[in-house]
Amino acid sequence: MTEETNVTNTATEAPLTTIARIGEHEGKTITLRGWLYNLRESGKLLFPIFRDGSGTIQGIVPKAAVAPEVFERIKGLTQESSVIVTGKVRADHRAPGGYELDVENVEVVQRVPEDTPFPISLKEHGTDFLMEHRHLWIRTPRQSAILRIRAEIIKAARDFLDDNGFILTDPPILTPAACEGTSTLFPVEYFGDEAYLTQSGQLYIESTALALGKVYSFGPTFRAEKSKTRRHLTEFWMVEPEWAYAGLDDLMGLAEQFISFIVGRVLTRRAADLKVLGRDVAKLQSIQAPFPRLSYDEAAQMLNDAHAKGLLEHPFEYGNDFGSPDETYISSQFDRPVMVHRYPAAVKAFYMEPDPENSKYALCVDVLAPEGYGEIIGGSQRISSYELLKQRIEDHQLPLEAFQWYLDLRRYGSVPHSGFGMGIERAVAWICGLEHVRETIPFARTLNRIYP
C-alpha cells in the first residue's frame, strides 16, 4: 500500500538544515527532511509547501527546471507524505518566513495513499473532529507554533527560577492526601490502600524549601474537575516556586518578575510563531513589572460599581470567590496582569496564613491575566504556627494522620514561607491568545475526553 524508500540511502551533497534556520543558507542548495503540507498547481508550475517541525516553506517547481520524473513525483504528492527535499534557498520578502525554495529534487520516504488521505484537510473542521485526531492535528502550522511556544514558556520559567537561586525538587505524583480540596481528587488503588494523583506539589516543596531555602517543582498535576470550561483540564502542568523566609509582598514581587521574564522571552525567541498565530504582540509588549495590586475588597468594590453601571450582568456577592465573568471584568481594567490579594480566608485553602491585620483575610494572591484569561497564578504565605495549622486541618475535616509529616515542618524550625503555582496551560492560552486550553497541551485531558 505504501511507497517507501530507504532513508539511509538518501544522502546528498547539499547540507541538511531546518526551515527555522534556512536564512543561514541564502543562495545555497540545502536539504530538508519533512512532510508535504500542501500542493498548489498553476500550469507548468508547482507550489509545494513543506513543513519540517520547525516551520513551513513554499517551494517552487517550474516544469522546465527539473527532470520530468521529479516534476511528476512532486505533482503526485499527497498531503503529509514524508519527503526529503533538495533545493536552493531564495530570499523573498513576500514569503511569510522571508524565504522560498527553488526545488531541485524530492525524494519520497512514504507517500500517503489516495484511498486513505490525511484526515485533516485544509478546509475547516469541527473541534470534536480535530480533538479526535489530535495526534495528527498537532502537525498543522498553528498547532505546531503553539507547542513550540509552550516549550519556550516552560524553558523560560525554569531558566528564571534556576538563575534566581531556586533549586528544582520533584514532588511525588502519588500522594496520600489532598492539597487543594477533596472534591477534585483522582483516587488510585495503591496496594489495598487509597492514594490520589497529586493536585499540587506544594506541601512537599514546603518541606524542600525548609531544607534548601528556595525551591521549585515543575510537573503534572491532576484535578477531577467536573466543570466544562475553557480554562480547566483534568491533567495540567504546574510550576511552583516555594521560598523560605518570604512573605506575601516578596511573593508578589517574584510573580511579576517571573511573568514579565517569560513574556519577554517568548517575544524575542518565538516572534515567528506568534505571527503564525496572529497574536497582537503590542498587548504582550506592555507586560512589564510592576503589576497593579488590588485587595479583594477593592476588587469587590470595582465589581459592584460595574454592576451598578450595567457593565456586569450579575451582582457580585461579597465573600465569594470571583467567577469567570468577574475575573474577566477586573482584568479588562488593566493592560497587564493584576494581582488580587487578601481574599476572605473562608474561600481559600486550609494552609494560608491569616492576615495579621485582620484574620478574616488570607495572605494570598491570585494573578489574573489580561484580555479575559483569568487566573494564571495562585499563591500564598503559608501558616507557620503549629497550633493554627493543626486547627485548620481539623476545621477542614482533613485526616490528621496523613498530615503529621506536614505538621513536622511547623515543629522543627518553622519560618514564614510563601509560594505560588502557575498553570502552564493557562499561561500558554493567554500568551498565544487562544480560545480554549485544550490547544495548549499536546493531548488535553478534559471531563469528556481521554482519547487519543
Binding site for ligand 4AD (CB under 6 A): 179-180, 200, 202, 223, 225, 232-233, 236, 238, 240, 375-379, 419-423, 425-426, 437
Nearer to ligand 4AD, 50 or 166 (CB): 166
Neighbours of 355 (CB within 10 A): 19
How many Cα atoms are found within 13 Å in the side-chain-facing hemisphere of 198?
20
Nearer to ligand 4AD, 17 or 381 (CB): 381
| CB of residue 212 to Mg ion, shortest distance in Å | 25
Q: Is the peptide bond before 452 cis (omega within 30 degrees of 0)?
A: yes
- Considering only CA atoms, which of 320, 259, 268, 269 is closest in space to residue 289? 259
Q: Which is nearer to Mg ion, 14 or 422 (CB)?
A: 422
Closest approach of ligand 4AD to the CB of residue 382, in Å: 8
**Residue nearest Mg ion (C-beta atom):** 378
**Is residue 374 a contact point for Mg ion (CB under 5 A)?**
no
Residue among 68, 35, 62, 30 nearest 49 (CA): 35
Please check whether residue 80 is in contact with residue 43, taking contact to mean a CB–CB distance below 8 angstroms. no
Task: Report the C-alpha gap between 421 and 376 in whole angstroms.
Answer: 8
Nearest CA among 180, 171, 239 for reference residue 208:
171
Q: Smaller CB distance to ligand 4AD: residue 326 or 425?
A: 425
Out of ligand 4AD, Mg ion, none, what residue 233 binds, judged by CB under 5 to 8 A for its kind, is ligand 4AD
Question: Residue 327 touches which of ligand 4AD, Mg ion, none (CB < 5 to 8 A by kind)?
Answer: none
Sign of CA dihedral 168, 173, 176, 182: positive
Closer residue to ligand 4AD, CB minimum distance, 375 or 439: 375
User: Which residue, 55 or 201, has its beta carbon nearer to ligand 4AD?
Assistant: 201
The SS3 of residue 431 is helix
DSSP assigned state of 371: T
> Among ligand 4AD, Mg ion, none, what binds residue 200 when CB lies within 5 to 8 Å by partner kind?
ligand 4AD
Least separation in angstroms between CB 100 and Mg ion: 48
Q: Give the closest residue to 272 by CA, choosing from 16, 15, 17, 22.
A: 22
Residue 179 binds which entry of Mg ion, ligand 4AD, none, CB below 5-8 Å type-dependent: ligand 4AD
403 secondary structure, DSSP code: G
Q: How far is the CB of 241 from ligand 4AD (least distance, A)?
A: 8
CB of 210 to Mg ion, least distance (A): 23
Asked if residues 234 and 224 have their Cβ atoms less than 8 Å apart, the reply is yes
Nearest to 378 by CA among 283, 238, 227, 218: 238
Minimum CB separation of residue 338 from Mg ion in Å reads 15
Q: Which is closer to ligand 4AD, CB of 150 or CB of 223?
A: 223
Query: C-alpha grid cell for residue 352?
Result: 494560608
Residue entry with cell 509588549: 285
Tell me, rounded to whole angstroms, the distance of Cα 376 from its chain centroid.
10
Cβ 137 to ligand 4AD shortest distance, Å: 20
Distance CA(183)–CA(181), nearest Å, equals 6
Cα 440 to its chain centre, rounded Å, is 5
Which region, judged by CB under 5 A, interacts with Mg ion, from 143-151, 184-192, 339-347, 374-382? 374-382
How do 187-190 and 293-295 pair as beta strands?
A: unpaired
Strands 293-295 and 99-111: unpaired
Closer CB to Mg ion, residue 87 or residue 378? 378
Which of 378, 379, 419, 423 binds Mg ion (CB under 5 A)? It is 378
Select from 151-159, 283-291, 373-381, 397-405 the region that touches Mg ion (CB under 5 A).
373-381
Rounded Cα–Cα distance for residues 403 and 401 (Å): 5
Q: Of 89 and 238, which CB lies nearer to Mg ion in the complex structure?
A: 238
Closest-by-Cβ residue to ligand 4AD is 378
User: How near is the Cβ of 378 to Mg ion at its closest, in Å?
Assistant: 3
Looking at residue 321, what DSSP letter applies?
A: P
Q: Of ligand 4AD, Mg ion, none, which one does residue 33 interact with (CB within 5 to 8 Å by kind)?
A: none
* Residue 111 site contact among Mg ion, ligand 4AD, none (CB < 5 to 8 Å, cut-off depends on kind): none
**Of residues 80 and 225, the one with the C-beta less far from Mg ion:** 225
Q: How far is the CB of 324 from Mg ion (least distance, A)?
A: 13
**Residues binding Mg ion (CB under 5 A):** 378
